[in-house]
Amino acid sequence: MTEYFYFDVEIKLAKEPKQLLATKVKSRIEGSLQQVFGEIGGHTEIDLLKFDPKRRRIILRVPQAFYVKLRAAITCIADFQGVPCYFLVRKASPVLLSLAETHSEF
């Protein structure tokens, strides 16, 4: 049975991009994985479980063995659709429920 790791990630952008779509965000992350680790080393299953375009937040799931690679690839992303940006990992955990927000985080 595969064990997973979950990430709560916020996208910080210098200005509004053309379109902030879940498919484009996931594609950018997968592209960064391939750029950093090569076609074979960067190949992993990434699931985008939740996407909130207004708050620019995503919840990702990856196999636990790829935790370090995903963190490295996210750190290397410097632009999204030509807009300078960075991805801020707010929380990471092997337990999805631990990413739930509390009233103090609003």
Q: Is residue 22 part of a domain?
A: yes
pTM of the model: 0.87
The pLDDT value given to residue 106: 39
The pLDDT value given to residue 42: 77
What's the angle, vertex CA 42, arms to CA 36 and CA 48, rounded to 5? 110
Between 102 and 45, where is the model more confident?
A: 45
Structural domain containing residue 72: 4-94
pLDDT tens track for 36-70? 998 887 788 899 999 999 999 999 999 999 999 99
Q: What's the structural domain count of the chain?
A: 1
23 token code pair: 């498919």
Query: Residue 39: which CATH number?
Result: 3.30.70.3250
